[in-house]
Structure 1
Amino acid sequence: MSYPILFLWSTPRSLSTAFLRMMLERGDFFVVHEPLSSIVSQGFATIGDERVESEAGLVELLREKSRNSAVFVKEVTDSRYGLIDDPAFPHLATHTFLLRHPEQSIASHHAMKPEVNRDEIGYEHLLDVFDTVRVARAEVPVVIEAERLLADPGTVVRDYCLRTGIAFLPSAMTWTPDDRREWSRTAPWHRDAAGSSGFTVIPKTYRTTVHNDPRLAAFHAHHLPFYERLRAHAVPAAGQSVGAGSR
């Protein structure tokens, strides 16, 4: 028997860690935090108590884990991963996408990493993953918007569960604030998620933004078309399952 593998792809600073926190609270998924990003940044990823040092090794381990449990992988697109070019990649999992407006994500990313470069913002890479999956699977992957998730978390998560074929668990919508082992490598980036108890709006202002910094404005101009192409696929109403539960 094989259990489903479910990916959530997003750009950095897009509420994806809070979504992962909800998936941890469910208790019915083996949850993996940014393994591809870890391999790029430090040469390996820690998956549970195991270490993998290549994308091929990661795929093998995810498949192994899915023999015993459903698997949820949260990944960010601050890099372009070679795995995307593997013809088997789109069929490894059900791939879903979380999207936040670049005006906010760019300012937040810069606040955490002032030396961030244009490609690390990630929308171009995110669209690349989306289009690769869409074409190979001949279906439109699920795209949810961070802004709607904050505004109406119950509706958005229920819809996400319906579309991916997993149960909606209301009890997982709130949790006890804590700093999780799963994101220990990048813990400073996840202070808001660690201090949260649900999907809540945390008002923030940034000194440097796309409106007052020419470099960030150029990043925004570059990535906005990719964001808009992805946002065109964010469907606000529930529809047919995309099949994670039937894998």
Structure 2
Amino acid sequence: MNPLRVAMWSGPRNLSTAMMRAWENRGDCAVSDEPLYAHYLEETGLDHPAREEVIAAGETDWRRVAASLAHGSSPGQRPVWYQKHMSHHLLPHIDVGWIAQLRNVLLIRDPRLVVASYVKSRASVTPDDIGLPQQERLYEHLVALGDVPVVDAGEFLRAPEGHLRALCDWLGIAFTPRMLAWPPGPRDSDGVWAPHWYERVWASTGFEAAPDEVPALQGRYADVAEACMPIYERLREVRLRIDA
């Protein structure tokens, strides 16, 4: 059986893990947590939390990862396979031809919110770290192939059921209310980096309310958010719109 392969391309600190929880809670869906992360760390040499554990636990050959994601069997032979991807893991040397085998969705978020959250775990940040430049390039590639839903995280949190229903309709599968709530705690499907990043998700039982305010950033942090804002605004113009 060839599963429905759903690839959500997000930046970090962008609702991506909560979204993975929602899809895994469907009951018919397997999930893969950042399958290109090991290759990304080995190739870039970046010192991320649990770096050596991530590399040891994952597949560092991107070609093998791509072949499995595009053509392999889903974990547990589930009919739906949700793949949580970080767009910045898609390094420039990776041939993106295999991505056409997936049903691709972009998940974007106001870069001011992303940067404010990101620097709670890491002292430095660049535009490439938060994935928006890579999302723009990916969108340009994918839109030439067909429809590419773009989901804005802030708007999603104001109407999660409406957005999930629309995505399920686009994919040709039934929505289930199970996607809106899940048991707290870790999952076997979580990456080995989860203890460093997933504390809030582990405590969650559903999607949080959208933040009321945008944080004030200073210095280099503000510069990074400002550099990414035109990309965010461009992608937001083509976002999935849900009627209130």
TM-score range normalised by the length of the shorter chain: 0.7 to 0.9
Partners of 1:205 and 1:12 in 2: CA distance: 19
> Is 1:134 matched up with 2:143?
yes
- Structure 1 residues 79 and 172: CA distance shift in structure 2, 3 A: closer
Structure 1 gap ranges (5+):
239-247
Comparing 140-149 with 36-45, which one deviates more in the overlay?
36-45
Structure 1 residue identity aligned to 2:122 = K
* 1:109 CA drift (Å): 0.7
Runs of 4+ in 1 over 4 A off after TM superposition: 42-46, 202-206
Alpha-carbon contact 1:100-1:145 (below 8 Å) kept:
yes
SS in 2 for 1:98: strand
- Structure 1 residues 83 and 91: CA distance shift in structure 2, 3 A: farther
Partners of 1:204 and 1:13 in 2: CA distance: 17
Alpha-carbon contact 1:123-1:226 (below 8 Å) kept:
yes
Partners of 1:5 and 1:45 in 2: CA distance: 27
Residue by residue, what CA displacement relative to the aligned partner does 1:94-133 show, whole Å, maximum 9, x if unpaired? 1101111111011101111112233212100111111111
How many percent identity over aligned positions? 26
Taking structure 2 as the reference length, the TM-score comes to 0.84
Which residue does 1:195 correspond to in 2?
A: 203
Which residue does 1:219 correspond to in 2?
A: 224
Aligned length: 229
Partners of 2:115 and 2:67 in 1: CA distance: 34
- Structure 1 residues 205 and 190: CA distance shift in structure 2, 3 A: farther
Which residue does 1:177 correspond to in 2?
A: 184
Partners of 1:84 and 1:232 in 2: CA distance: 28
Partners of 1:224 and 1:53 in 2: CA distance: 32
* 1:155 CA drift (Å): 1.1
Matches within 5 A, 1:41-60: 41-42=41-42, 51-60=58-67
Partners of 1:130 and 1:37 in 2: CA distance: 20
- Structure 1 residues 108 and 155: CA distance shift in structure 2, 3 A: same
